[in-house]
Amino acid sequence: TLQQIGGIMQFCPSPGCFCCSMETGVRIYNVEPLMEKGHLDHEQVGSVALCSMLHRSNLLAVVGGGVNPRFSDISVLVWDDARESRDPKDKLVLEFTFTKPVLAVCMRRDKIIIVLKNKIYVYSDTSALLFLYCITMCWFNYTKPFSFRSLQPQPLCPWDLSNTKPGTSSAPFTINAHQSEIACVALNQPGSVAASASRKGTLIRLFDTTTRDKLVELRRGTDPATLYCINFSHDSSFLCASSDKGTVHIFALKDTKLNRRSALARVGKVGPVIGQYVDSQWSLASFTVPAECACICAFGKNTSKNVNSVIAICVDGTFHKYVFTPDGNCNREAFDVYLDICDDDDF
């Protein structure tokens, strides 16, 4: 959960749009062009800690939280906003209740995935398919879901849930990703590549989820940082990452020669400690957002063959869009305050 002073501000990205969980309810925005597409006000849902949209549909999963919640933080309510009613009971289509607070929710067309502190529940329709225990780090892809369990000393353990059958279990294989605790994980669209960063936040490592091989090591910086978000472009050609340093970094994956290298790489053979630093790849391009302002970042629509865009949505209510080229040139194309955008006078 991304928090701001005086209230909750949690983001849920969906294709081409994003949701904001707030003390005043839920807002749903289209990204390009930026506009509000809908909202649930405080009278309907109270203050909300989490929300998740099923792609670009009318179905929302809502978890209560904050100073004045209408619903409990141990329940997930699936909400059909297309139903014509102001009564929340008329729009409720599914409800899941647990004994512990819900930490995350992800919806696919065939599954609902609910994360607690020590368990992940995977549901198909209203029947439980699978229970995974002691899961502390997870990320789910919209097209091919995986879950990641964090074990000592914090390797990644992927499960392919797309072919899982009720009542079955299998031992996951492990990927030795980091020495310290894993803080941020992401998958590309096919689910074939996993990107992870530790709590130190200096390196992002990419792994093949089938062979477990490390594909590339990307360096965000040298100072420790808290990573808020890692995201792949749709075709896996680029990766973006945001942190509490106020910088969004963009890395090339398809052609890694585009990434910057340390000047020490020209020196030649160096010691093992310096060698790890020299071998890392630095970002192709970067841009700044308000320092220590939590944000999510994602790739936008390509404006041309050689021009790509990255969008950052910050907890202070600001919207940033930057375009970049393969040579590392990066410029701001759009800026707005999305919290000031409303489609009516209900706020």
* Cβ(175)–Cβ(189) below 8 Å: no
Mean pLDDT, all residues of the chain: 79
**168 has pLDDT over 70:** no
Confidence label for 249 from pLDDT (cuts 50, 70 and 90): very high
Can you give the pTM of this predicted structure? 0.81
**76 has pLDDT over 50:** yes
Q: Which has more confidence, 96 or 166?
A: 96
In the DSSP assignment, the letter for residue 45 is H
**215 has pLDDT over 60:** yes
Q: Which residues contact 282 (CB under 8 A, 6 or more apart)?
A: 218, 219, 259, 260, 261, 262
153-167 average pLDDT score: 64
Token code pair at residue 198: 């530790």
Token code pair at residue 222: 């040298």
Residues in the chain, total? 347
If one counts every other C-beta atom within 10 angstroms of the C-beta of residue 173, the result is 13
Which residue type is seen at 261? R
What distance in Å separates the CA atoms of residue 242 and residue 238, rounded to the nearest whole number? 14
**174 has pLDDT over 80:** no
| CA distances, 138 to each of 105, 107, 157, 182, 184 (Å) | 11, 14, 10, 10, 9
292-305 average pLDDT score: 82
Beta strands in 23-163 (DSSP E): 25-30, 35-41, 46-53, 59-69, 75-80, 92-97, 104-107, 112-115, 119-124, 127-133, 146-148, 158-160
Token code pair at residue 174: 């492990």
**158 has pLDDT over 80:** no
What distance in Å separates the CA atoms of residue 194 and residue 239, rounded to the nearest whole number? 11
Alpha helices, H only, the chain: 42-45, 88-91, 272-279
pLDDT tens across 33-62, in order? 899 988 888 888 899 999 888 888 888 899
What CATH number matches the domain at 177-347, 1.10.238.10, 3.30.420.40, 2.120.10.80, 2.130.10.10? 2.130.10.10
In the DSSP assignment, the letter for residue 279 is H
Give the domain ranges of the chain.
Answer: 177-347
pLDDT tens across 119-146, in order? 888 887 545 544 443 344 444 443 444 4
What distance in Å separates the CA atoms of residue 165 and residue 148, rounded to the nearest whole number? 18
What pLDDT, on the 0 to 100 scale, is given for residue 57? 81
Nearest in space to 95 (alpha carbons), one of 111, 76, 112, 81: 76
What distance in Å separates the CA atoms of residue 141 and residue 19, rounded to the nearest whole number? 17
Assign 258 to helix, strand or coil: helix
168-195 average pLDDT score: 78
320-326 average pLDDT score: 94
What distance in Å separates the CA atoms of residue 179 and residue 190, rounded to the nearest whole number? 27
